[in-house]
Amino acid sequence: MRPRSKLPALLLGSALLAGVLGAGTVATAAGPGGAQAAPADGHTGHTGHTTAVSTRASVDDPDGDGYIPAVPPVTGVTPSHATPPPRYFHEFQANCAVTHTAPDDPIVYPGQPGRSHDHTFMGNRTTHAGSTTASLYGGDTTCKAPADASAYWMPSLYKGGEKILPVGPQVIYYKAGVTDYTSVRPFPKGLRFVVGDPLQSAQEFRGHKGWVEGWECGDSFKNVDIPQNCPAGSQLNLRMQAPSCWNGLHLDTPDHQSHMAYPLVKPGTNDNVCPASHPVALPMIEFKMAWPVDGDMSQVRLAGGRGYSFHYDFFNAWEERTLRAMVDHCVVGGLQCDTRGYDQNHPERGAVLNSDHRLP
């Protein structure tokens, strides 16, 4: 019997939506990428990729119940309330370039090619609707470190009918999301989750715990939606942070979110700690994306709808020794590392990876 956990209250609306539309239902869409005009309440109305319950049998989930157990599970962990020596940084970069685009989503719609709205994929070159932990692990990648065969993806961006792709390696941070950065441990192999929700309203996007500064271009920032105009020569930017506390039991759950949680602020302090329900501190992923588009932005949109429908997916396929070395040296070690695990402000600490971005 697999361990179960109830859906958190904030996801109840999505679960009910799935019950009305049918899990995995795809709404009829118009235009490239299936975007629709947003109704008056600010929602996109698109159901091509949601955090509602959607399950299907796959190699990773043979019975198709949506719960993929961690083997072995991580139990007996208590959230750390310790306050280690202050370090302003505890991070490294795992920068990855775009590989391809496709209307696929191996987390929400496993084994169902063409079921999702269009996504822009980074990292693993082979990611498709049928991708599994085994198919991704050890695969070719556009990430700086060859050991990072993880798959990263987000809704594709359009300007009118033209698809706009980020150019070059995109900045993907691995940070400490909790105050006790020394308690952070590597992702378990095969962990996957969705950050955000394409059905969220503008207000929900602004209030999302992963919000950093919203959409940016030129001197305009903290925008909930894509700005109407961007200065010539500027780029459209967006940063969004992922939850970093894990329940230790599941690599995925039916809603693709409830096995993960954001840290909480400890009462009476400014310390961030994991909740008791999700006691295992993992790296906090932060997407820092840049699209080469400027000028009149009135026709710029996401495949899933308006700018506030932004969300992204992560499917971990790092080689374990390399990820542990990077996390231990940079995150636990309180450094500001580049993609090789080198902090230019502390050259005496050395680097984790060699000049080929490989573990010696």
Q: What percent of the chain has pLDDT above 90?
A: 83
The continuous run of DSSP H or E covering 212 comes out as: strand 211-217
Q: Omega before 32 cis (within 30°)?
A: no
- 46 pLDDT more than 60: no
- 10 pLDDT more than 70: no
Integer Cα distance of 27 and 194 in angstroms: 20
212: which 2 tokens?
Answer: 């950093």
Three-class SS state of 287: strand
Integer Cα distance of 183 and 13 in angstroms: 33
Integer Cα distance of 272 and 178 in angstroms: 5
- Residue 57 pLDDT grade (very low, low, confident, very high; cuts 50, 70, 90): confident
Alpha-carbon separation of residue 256 from 110, 130, 167 (angstroms):
12, 16, 28
Q: What is the pTM of this model?
A: 0.86
Sheet order of strands, 119-123 included:
98-102, 119-123, 151-155, 311-315, 192-196
109: which 2 tokens?
Answer: 């719609």
Three-class SS state of 179: coil
Token match 């305009």: residue? 220
Residues in the chain: 360
Q: How many CA atoms lie within 13 A of 321 on its CB side?
A: 6
DSSP 48: S
Let me know: does 279 contact 261? Beta carbons within 8 Å: no
Three-class SS state of 151: strand
Integer Cα distance of 292 and 165 in angstroms: 7
Query: Is the model more confident about 39 or about 348?
Result: 348
- Residue 58 pLDDT grade (very low, low, confident, very high; cuts 50, 70, 90): confident
Q: Omega before 86 cis (within 30°)?
A: no
What integer is the mean pLDDT of 215-221? 96
- In this prediction, residue 47 carries a pLDDT of 36
Integer Cα distance of 38 and 13 in angstroms: 18
The continuous run of DSSP H or E covering 202 comes out as: helix 202-206
Angle at 322 between CA 121 and CA 347, to 5 degrees: 105
The continuous run of DSSP H or E covering 325 comes out as: helix 320-326
What integer is the mean pLDDT of 326-342? 98
Integer Cα distance of 47 and 254 in angstroms: 16
Residue 58 CA to its chain's centroid (Å): 21
pLDDT digits (tens, 9 = 90+) for 118-167: 999 999 999 999 999 999 999 999 999 999 999 999 999 999 999 999 99
Residue 172 CA to its chain's centroid (Å): 9
Name the residue ranges covered by the structural domains of the chain: 95-171+188-264+284-319
Token match 């759950």: residue? 253
Integer Cα distance of 327 and 128 in angstroms: 28
What b-and-e string marks burial along 148-164, b requiring 16 or more CB atoms within 10 Å of the CB? bbbbbbbbbbbbeeeeb
Integer Cα distance of 59 and 170 in angstroms: 30
Spell out the residues 6+ positions from residue 188 whose beta carbon is closer than 8 angstroms to its own: 70, 74, 246, 251, 316
- In this prediction, residue 54 carries a pLDDT of 59
Integer Cα distance of 225 and 222 in angstroms: 9
- 53 pLDDT more than 70: no
